[in-house]
Amino acid sequence: MKFLTKSFLLICLIVLSACSSKATQQDVSETMSSIDSTIIDMHTLSNYKSVSSSHIHLDIEVDFTKKIVSGSVTHEILNPNNENHFILDSKNLFIEYIEYDNGETASFAYGKVDELLGTPLIIDIDSDVKSVTIHYNTTDKTEALDWLMPEQTDGKVSPFMYTQGQSIFTRSWIPIQDTPGLRITYSANVKVPEGMLAVMSASNPVERNESNSYNFNMPQPIPCYLIALAVGDLVFAPIDERTGVYAEKTMLEDCAYELEDMGQMVTAAEELYGDYQWDRYDVIVLPPSFPFGGMENPRLTFATPTIIAGDKSLTALIAHELAHSWSGNLVTNATWDDFWLNEGFTVYFERRIMESLYGKDYVEMLALLGYQDLQGSIIALKPDLQLLKLKLNGLHPDEGMSDIAYEKGYFFLRLIEETVGRDKFDVFLKDYFNNHKFQTIVTEYFVQYLNDNLLVPNDIVLNVEQWVYEPGLPNNCPSIVCERFNDVDKGLVSFHKSSDVNLIHASNWSTHEWLHFIRKLNPETTSEQMKLIDDKFKLTQSGNSEILAAWFEQSIRFNYRGIDAALEKFLTRIGRRKFLEPLYTALAATPEGKERAISIYEKARGNYHYVSFNTIDKVLGLNI
């Protein structure tokens, strides 16, 4: 079956390549629809290919006492072949009853439970049914939601709740066809407790109202992993006419300062690859348990407070989430196997935005740090996870969230840019976004489109297949020359020879120079040398989360115990998985460290979102 699908896809591509040169809109949609019929998303149990939702309306209440979201979701249905069942994804939800649009009660059944993917919800329909309304509530096993007590917020007065949909968590808070291969519009009415504000990846209120009930609308079709909600003691500050920031009152001023350049970022992005398609661009800075750096929920990026460093040095993350407004949200990976089409393009675009604002030498620091991450991942990952086109069948899509999609994807696109020249590549990318807006893409199609529209017309031969379908890093990977790290390298050499901290001339170093320094410390560094560095540069007291995380990791490795109290504080307060995973892993490398890790984790686990504690449970080998 799998073989047949693959051969069919191959035949489609061969036929299409024989009759294609530069793409017109019509070619594009014909090619897409022939490939579309061969795409299988292994991570949905729904029948979205035959019967699909086109719009959902949520009518829900957020109950902080019971820690549940309850209410209903109405699905408008497209059923061109008059199928008898409408099948949705669901996971750990309580379904109360279901109604048809004529008010009659619908009959439904559950399919076989899948540990990873959840339970298919099979609703009987006939050709007269235009919509169904499902009355349901979430449970304490709902993976998408994080319920925070007041102590876990900055203001310490109100509770907080936010959702995380990507990759397959939306099904745990809304019964839905949970695949990136389907786009829907949505609207919502959300009731919240007195005095709290709700915001979504949609049109948003800028202040509280008396009714404690908020209406939302997302008129552009999106994949459902981008449906998002946050509720808390939130306030808003504008940055310019179309950008702004939501945060708790206690943090708002710092956030608005840190994100001051956001308006310029949107303008720079538009100059590169075409108009911003989502009306407003706002950011919400969440409490520290948020498991990611950022999440590109349309119109409203969700961000970790760990980017608020006081010196704007970590704002590449905002450029990244903004770039997803084109790569990811406008042109979307059709399955999680094609995740690099979202992330690799976004890292490339992020660095182009940063280059427009802050120059090439700044971006080369980001690129070199990215290259170091990539090399680490290639050593650590099994060959199957080193592919751009992934094979995640049977695995959680989050397993594909590695530097391969991000950095190997970036270096592949950078190679193409350097080979064809930036001008041609920019025209190509702008057309790519424009020709495929509000559509979903698979890797095989992109490779074909790239050949037809860029490589063949310019007589360029590149090892595209090797980059996309083979493990490892091809040896034509662009190499990065980063002048600004030369000083750092000199400091490292002198310090290691002499242990004299005065030979480290760091007065002008930015966050990125420090990260390079910390990462490149000689593997033989002693705890005494770590103490000398710390005494002089006070890294353990740094207010910069990236520097802290890198410093803690090396300190654990070199057994420097001056960090202990600060490390425990960091691990109990912050829930960003990218920081937690390496730190717990480093601790767990020795029996004594593992004991310490478990004792910290006992206190900290309750402060983490499911995404993070699920990962750390595995790191520490706990079966909770």
578 binds ligand BES (CB under 6 A): yes
> Active-site residue among 100, 348, 406, 601?
406
57 binds ligand BES (CB under 6 A): no
Reduce the DSSP state of residue 582 to 3 states and report it: helix
Closer Cβ to ligand BES, 315 or 448, answer by number: 315
Closer Cβ to ligand BES, 295 or 415, answer by number: 295
**Token pair of 320, please?**
């990244």
Among 166, 329, 453, 525, binds ligand BES (CB under 6 A): 166
Among 317, 330, 378, 387, binds ligand BES (CB under 6 A): 317
The Cα-based distances of 321 to 91, 266, 293, 619 in angstroms read: 27, 11, 9, 28
How many Å apart are CA 161 and CA 153, to the nearest integer? 10
Instruction: Please indicate whether residue 321 is annotated as part of the active site.
Output: yes
Instruction: Please indicate whether residue 592 is annotated as part of the active site.
Output: no
293 binds ligand BES (CB under 6 A): yes
Closer Cβ to ligand BES, 343 or 431, answer by number: 343
How many Å apart are CA 325 and CA 330, to the nearest integer? 6
- Binding residues (CB under 5 A) for Zn ion: these are 343, 346
Helix or strand (DSSP H, E) at 238: strand 234-238
Rounded to a whole number of angstroms, the minimum distance from the CB of residue 225 to ligand BES is 8
Rounded to a whole number of angstroms, the minimum distance from the CB of residue 347 to ligand BES is 7
Closer Cβ to ligand BES, 125 or 353, answer by number: 353
Q: What is the dihedral of CA 133, 135, 137, 143, to 10 degrees?
A: -30
200 binds, among ligand BES, Zn ion, none (CB under 5 to 8 A by kind): none
Residue 103 buriedness (CB in 10 A; 0-12 / 13-18 / 19+): exposed
How many Å apart are CA 286 and CA 98, to the nearest integer? 34
In which residue are the tokens 């360029």 written? Answer: 460
Binding to ligand BES by CB under 6 A, coded x per residue (else -) over 387-416, reads -----------x--x----x----------
How many Å apart are CA 439 and CA 451, to the nearest integer? 20
How many Å apart are CA 618 and CA 624, to the nearest integer? 10
In which residue are the tokens 């499902």 written? Answer: 134
How many Å apart are CA 286 and CA 300, to the nearest integer? 12
Closer Cβ to ligand BES, 233 or 398, answer by number: 398
431 binds ligand BES (CB under 6 A): no
517 binds ligand BES (CB under 6 A): no
Reduce the DSSP state of residue 433 to 3 states and report it: helix
575 binds ligand BES (CB under 6 A): no
Stretch of 170-178, 314-322, 360-368, 556-564 lying at the interface with ligand BES (CB under 6 A): 314-322
Q: What is the DSSP string of 373-385?
A: HHHHHHHHS-GGG
Rounded to a whole number of angstroms, the minimum distance from the CB of residue 168 to Zn ion is 16
Please report, as ranges, the residues that interact with ligand BES according to CB under 6 A.
166-167, 292-296, 317, 320-321, 324, 343, 398, 401, 406, 578
